[in-house]
Amino acid sequence: MIGCLSALVVLYETLIPATADGAAKRTYRYWPRFPRPRTVLTVGQVPSVPEAFLLQSASGLAARAALHGANREMVWYPIGHPAYVEWQRRMLAQTKPRLVELKDVWAIVDRLRQRGIVKGYVLFRQDTYPRAFHERKEYDPSANVATVLAGQLGGVLVAQELEAKAKELGLPLLADARGVTEEECFAKWAAKCSDRVLAMLDPKAAHCRAEAIALDAFVLATYGPTLDRALERLKPDSPVLGWGMGDEYRLTEPISRWAAWQSATNWCLNLPILSTEQVGQTIPTSSVRVRNRHTIWDLQWRDDRHYASFLMTDGDNVQWLMGDFQFDGERSWWNSRARGQFPMGWGTCVADLAQLCPYALQRLVETATPNDDLLLMGGGYYYPDLFGAAREDPNALRLHARRIRGYMAMTGIRVLHMNASIWDSPDAIRAYTILAEEIPELEGIFMVQYAPYTAGKGRVIWVKRRDGTEMPVVAARFAIWAHSPFPDDGPPAEVAKRLNAMSPVGHDASEMGFSWVTVHCWSWFQDVPDTAAEDAEEVDQTKARELGAKRGLEPVGWCIRRLEPHVQVVSPTDMILLMNVRLRPRQTIERALDDLETRIRQLPPTRRGLADQHMRTARGFLVNGRYREAFQAGQQAAALLRPAP
């Protein structure tokens, strides 16, 4: 059904208003908003993998009928993961449907059949080839072909071992997906699928198929000629649902070239029923707005400090931020006991969460400490230096930048975290310039390269905004990464030693006075005494759990405890602000003074007069190149804006 999704999605390509509420109301939805259900059907458990496929398809057909028509009865896939228990609790409280538990999966199918939503079944064969999930080896595409046909024909997915039960229920066979290749499916059915989303799913896994069916997504397993053909027919700046099989770079490279982006939603469940809300309408913008919104006036001007920041990897991974990230049993990341003890940066997929599961975003903001700094990780996983190259479309990245600008305005996030194919290539620099031009509020970008993450060795590239001011793009200098072959990566103690050897900012301020460390979220280490050898923290990653090793946030704490006094740990946003004010002082202080001028006009006359005096002093110092004095005078003016004690 070509264009059916586009008819349901309102496009907002105008400039984003300055206010957060205005931005929230005018953000572009990559993922459609489903109608609120009046009834939610569920079961106590899903006893087998074939029945998981069956329930996912039933859920997808119910959601599709809600998106395209009057159905208000949706399906909740039962899962005991504490994150999904919490999202269900919040969803029920927010939308207030009637929750009905039926005896088994077939009872849900029968109920939807009686309502005309399920018209029959699509027969498929489970992929039983001996390979790990998402490993690119021989596979049976039957489940993916059946998922495409399910939405087009109105059929639930029935594995061949369950066919007798489907017949017993009186369901007619609508199609047999066994033996049909993805290429054959593409040739016959792709033109009827959405041109605004593509799904990449491992045929072994039932997860995420409800969303694929509801959105009429074409479904593939891995890269190759058919992926390029599928990407070519997508509208520029479209998301890829799920995650494919095979090498990460070989999956993401063609997706980037065709101006699409990865969402890493492959283990997600219940996306349609969690996507019924709109931030700024049914959910208050204030509930997703970050709190640690420092300006340059909140910082200190110090010459004797080397500034260091730590930033966790993989924040563009939606299924992780909806799952273990906030609730893992090992307490490695957001629920780590170490969180809040030191400044920490978290790349996050706030744009996706705001649409697919705003409850997860709300909880992030609710539970963030003053030391937690949320950044937007690209607005999806793609390589900006390759974005749109296959289309030869110079505006593809501009379109993406305008759209993610709305989510940055809505949440108050002012810094991006991104991953490039070649971080300092001419194409990369053009991409950074586009982002700086289209997101004028953007303070800077933290960049890694696909391999190695530390390829830039802390270098800074300055690109120009439309007003002529420059914005920093900062490469990772070091990485906390287990058993890495790259010279600037290592365990916590080794990274601490390298940071301790770095020079302070100094009076004449150099980029060598700043370092940010990318923290590989999956790397395990063991805690050892500070006197132990630097490599003593390394452990066999396959035996890490049984050895009591830790990953995520605690190893960052081990690194920080070894830092010398001249190394000051700050949040990534504060580091970007400090780099702006120390390395480009004239433009940064001038922009900040202009902002202060507007706010000072709202002060009572007495305080406004004193503030104006400090402002004149600051501008006088600025003209004469006395930047430190200008900064200090600006701080005095800014202090008058704080509420009186």
Using DSSP, state whether 374 is helix, strand or coil: strand
592/586 Cα distance (integer angstroms):
10
Q: Which two tokens stand for residue 212?
A: 């694929």
11 near 238, Cβ under 8 Å?
Answer: no
246/202 Cα distance (integer angstroms):
10
- What would the 3-class secondary structure string for 119-144 be? CEEEEECCCCCCCCCCCCCCCCCHHH
Single-letter code of the amino acid located at 20: A
* Burial class for 64, CB neighbours closer than 10 Å (0-12, 13-18, 19+): buried
CB burial string 391-421: b at 16+ within 10 A, e below: bebeebbbbbbbbbbbbbbbbbbbbbbbbbb
pTM of the model: 0.94
User: What is the tens place of the pLDDT at every residue in 241-287?
Assistant: 999 999 999 999 999 999 999 999 999 999 999 999 999 999 999 99
Single-letter code of the amino acid located at 31: W
Phi/psi at 460 (5° precision): -120, 130
User: What is the tens place of the pLDDT at every residue in 585-632?
Assistant: 999 999 999 999 988 888 888 888 999 999 999 999 999 999 999 999
Q: Which two tokens stand for residue 268?
A: 């997600």
Q: Residue 522's pLDDT is what?
A: 98
488 near 457, Cβ under 8 Å?
Answer: yes
* C-alpha radius of gyration, the chain, whole number: 26
Cα 203 to chain centroid distance, Å, stands at 24
Q: What angle do CA 239, 245, 247 make, to 5 degrees?
A: 95
454/459 Cα distance (integer angstroms):
10
User: What is the tens place of the pLDDT at every residue in 22-46?
Assistant: 655 579 999 999 999 999 999 999 9
User: What is the tens place of the pLDDT at every residue in 125-173?
Assistant: 999 999 999 999 999 999 999 999 999 999 999 999 999 999 999 999 9
Single-letter code of the amino acid located at 541: Q
Nearest alpha carbon to residue 373 among 410, 323, 411? 411
Using DSSP, state whether 101 is helix, strand or coil: strand
Q: CB-side exposure of 285: number of CA atoms within 13 Å? A: 18
Using DSSP, state whether 504 is helix, strand or coil: coil
Q: Residue 28's pLDDT is what?
A: 96
5 near 216, Cβ under 8 Å?
Answer: yes
Using DSSP, state whether 258 is helix, strand or coil: coil
DSSP 33: P
262 near 380, Cβ under 8 Å?
Answer: yes
Phi/psi at 8 (5° precision): -95, -15
* pLDDT of residue 17 exceeding 50: no
239/196 Cα distance (integer angstroms):
7
Percent of the chain topping pLDDT 70: 96
Any alpha helices (H) in 539-584, and if so which ranges? 553-561, 572-583
User: What is the tens place of the pLDDT at every residue in 317-333?
Assistant: 999 999 999 999 999 99
Terminal alpha carbon distance of the chain: 62
